[in-house]
Amino acid sequence: MATGEMVKITFRVEPDRGNGIVGETLWAEQVGPGRFRLANTPFYVLGLSCRDVVFGRRRRSGVLAFAGASLRGGHSTVWIALHVDWDAAVFRSRCAQLHEHGCRYESAGRTLAVDVPSAADFSVGEALLEAGAVADLWDYEVAHCGHPAG
């Protein structure tokens, strides 16, 4: 593999986290021998965020597997679970506010993985997430906070 090459890395998912899912695959860019910068946001893996650099190791099967965290990228990951009766107009409004704050998200059904970039004020992002919860739109969980405490 060459530096800059995009690869898929497999992560083990804790049994109580994945609703039956035992592994998650994320895209990453090789940044050095055995080191990769995550290019998307995890849905099920706790403690990691987009832009973190991780170690990867080839298994005998050929699969590139997560072998530990190397450097933090300063991003945070928040998971959102939309309520069954969520209001589409309210959702669009709340997501637009998150987007204006610099957050990006990936979705799978009623689940969203939100990337809060290092340049964003995490407390403002968390206030926007809490507003969505108070509006009875979603529940959320901070899966990894890479922002400095403050």
Dihedral angle sign, alpha carbons of residues 132, 138, 139, 144: negative
Just give the CATH number of 76-144. Answer: 3.30.70
For residues 33 and 15, give the distance between their C-alpha atoms in angstroms, rounded to a whole number: 30
- pTM, two decimals, is 0.87
Structure confidence by residue, pLDDT tens digits, 49-103: 999 999 999 999 888 999 999 999 999 999 999 888 877 787 788 888 888 989 9
Q: CB–CB of 32/46 below 8 Å?
A: no
What value does the mean pLDDT take over residues 110-133?
A: 89
